Each structure stands twice: as structure tokens, then as C-alpha cells.
Amino acid sequence: MSAARRFLTRWLALSRKEVIHIVRDVQVVYMALGMPVVLLILFGYAVSFDLERLPIGVVDQDGTPASRHLTEAMTAGDAFEVRERLSDASELESRFRQGKLKAGLVIPEGYGRKLARGTVSESQILLDGADGTTAGIALGYAMGMSQAESRRMLESSGLAPELAIQDRVRLRFNPGMKSAWFIVPGLIAMILSIMAVMLTALTVAREWERGSMEQLFSTPVGRLEVILGKLAPYVVLGMVQVLLVVTMGTVLFGVPVRGSLWLLFGAALLFLVGMLGQGLFISVATRNQQVATQIGFVTSMLPTLLLSGFMFPVANMPVPLQVLSAVIPSRYFIVVLRGVLLKGNGVDVLWPELMALAVFALVMIGLSSARFKRRLD
């Protein structure tokens, strides 16, 4: 029997052994197939930057058709909902303190008269800045609506300059500014990274604790055969996870798929091999389920959440963190996900990210192999 055939036979035998362990362990199957769906639904619906029905108070001191039109324009969409109409602007702060209102619109007396004369007419928007994220989004909505209504009133009165600049904004790739389209690709990367690391870290660490790993090393099986035999079943399981979460993201949140699915799954394969290798390395280094769980969770979730560009742009981070993020595989996988799903990018655009994922996978497999070698010595 040739060396290649012996390698293939031993690798398949180890993979078959690992598949039997996976099938017998209900917790592993649930973690691999159930948890990604649960996490995607929870995070997908809970994490949203869309502004809907923010409670607003209106202080209309003008009482003219122009002021009423402005109020109607501010609440025409789903962003704001008028909860109270107050007589004095000083009452808004007490409502902010009580948590009853998050924003206020103050229209001073003379607003309609100034607008009719074509002079500068002002209105005031007050926001509860305790929640900076919501306040920032609400400010953008409110300013846009206010300016649009003021321009409409001037044009309807025939007072707008004939050569006035008309800004026409067209949003590409996410015309509806749906936050789910931005969040779901990052969620997919985070879920896959957590699940991949935890699967190999826990299951292999369990074998260390039970002593079955030492028995395996006493056989004539080589280090690379052990590593590939351990990884292969989880790679297949991980690809099922990819199919599951991408399908759920498309069905539940309407995320489009504008690029090649083959490219998407190819990048996911590289990403999974790297993250599974990271979990294998953690299990070999710790040999304890509790420690492997803690290290696996910290090294998979936190870097993806904070340093990958999932929530915060990498370019806005301090330079040391930008350098650190360069070794985070989720950073490159998220770029691929958003590029394929939203922009329809191909290999000609995404090849640097694919190369980075491939390098990370090779490094993790190399480190795991080196650690196995030291154990055998």
C-alpha cells in the first residue's frame, strides 16, 4: 500500500470516528445547528440602527399652517411619533428626565410669517443626549425632514432662487438604509467564529480530559492525519452552518445575494478552517474544557465584535488597534460577506481578503501541528 493511500485510509478512519462522536453527542449537534439560528434571530432583531416611533413632544408657538405642515412632515414617516403637545419649551426637559420623550420640536412665533416673506425662519430640535447613538440618528432624520419641508414651502411660494442648488442623493447597495443589511453579514461572521472555535476547543479538550487522546497518539497515526481527521467533520458541519445562517439572513431580514455563492462559500471554507484550527490549538494548549471555553469565547467573539469592523470602522480606531485588527480573520471575512452579498464583488476585488484568510488557516494548522508534536515528544 502506498504512503498516500495509507494516509487517506487513516484520515478517513479518524474522520469517521469523529463523525460518530458528533452524532452521539446531542449537545454538539445543537450547538452546531441550533445555536447559530438562535443567535442570528436574537442579534438580528435586537441590534438595529433603524429609528422607529421615537416619542417626540411638539411646542408649536406659531399656530399657523406652515408650522402645522412642519409638524406633519416631521411625523410623516415611522421615525417620530408625537406623544405630547406642550405650551412651553421648558417643559421638554422635565419630560426628558422622566423618560417620557426622547426629542422635542419647538416652533417659535413668527415662523410662518418669516417663511412667507422668504426670510430666514428657524425651528429648534431638542434631543435627549443620554443615548448618544439614538440621538445622533434622530438628529439626522430631523434635520433632513426639516430642511426638506422648508425647501418645499419656499418653492411652493415661488420664493426659491431659480439657480438654487438641488442636492440629489442616491444610495448604492443599500438604498433603504436598512441596518439589518449592514448588521447581518457581521453577525454571520461572529456566529461562525464562535461556533467554529467552541466546537473544536470543547470536543478535543474533552478527549484530553478523558485520556482518549493519549490512546490515539499511541497508534501509528501521524500528526497531520490527526489534525485533518479532527477538522474534516467540523468543516462539513460548519459549511452547513454557513448555508443555514445565510439562508436565514436572506429570508428573515431580506439581505440580498448579489454576488457569487461559490465565492461566498469558498471564503467561508477558508474562514472555517482557520477558526476550527484556532479552536484545536486552544484545546491542545489548555487540555481543559472550562479553560478552553473561556479562552475560545474571548478570542472569537470579542475581536469580531470590536476589532473587525463589524460595529465600528477600522479606519476610525487608534493606530495600535488597527495593527491588531490586521490579524483578526473576521475583519477579512466581513469584507467578503458585505462585498458578495451587497455589492456583488468578485475575486478581482476580494482576492486580498481571500489571501489573508488562507494565510490565517495555514498558520493555525501549523501551530496546532507543532503543539501536537511537542506533546508526542
Where are the chain's structural domains? 3-47+178-376, 54-156
HEC assignment per residue over 240-269: HHHHHHHHHHHHHHCCCCCCCHHHHHHHHH
pLDDT score for 355:
97
Residue 56 burial (10 A CB sphere; 0-12, 13-18, 19+):
buried
Q: How far apart are CA 144 and CA 140, in angstroms?
A: 6
Q: What's this model's pTM, rounded to 2 decimal places?
A: 0.81
Domain 54-156 is of which CATH architecture? 3-Layer(aba) Sandwich (3.40)
Alpha-carbon distance of 179 to 6, in angstroms, equals 52
Per-residue pLDDT of the chain (377 residues; tens, 9 = 90+): 577 777 778 777 778 877 887 777 777 778 788 888 888 888 888 777 777 788 888 888 888 888 888 888 877 777 888 888 888 888 888 888 888 888 888 888 888 787 777 676 778 888 887 766 677 777 777 777 766 766 666 666 555 544 344 445 555 777 767 788 888 899 999 999 998 998 888 777 777 777 676 666 666 677 777 778 888 888 998 999 999 999 999 999 889 999 999 999 999 999 999 999 999 889 888 888 888 888 998 899 889 988 998 888 888 889 999 999 999 999 999 999 999 999 999 999 999 999 999 999 999 988 888 877 544 44
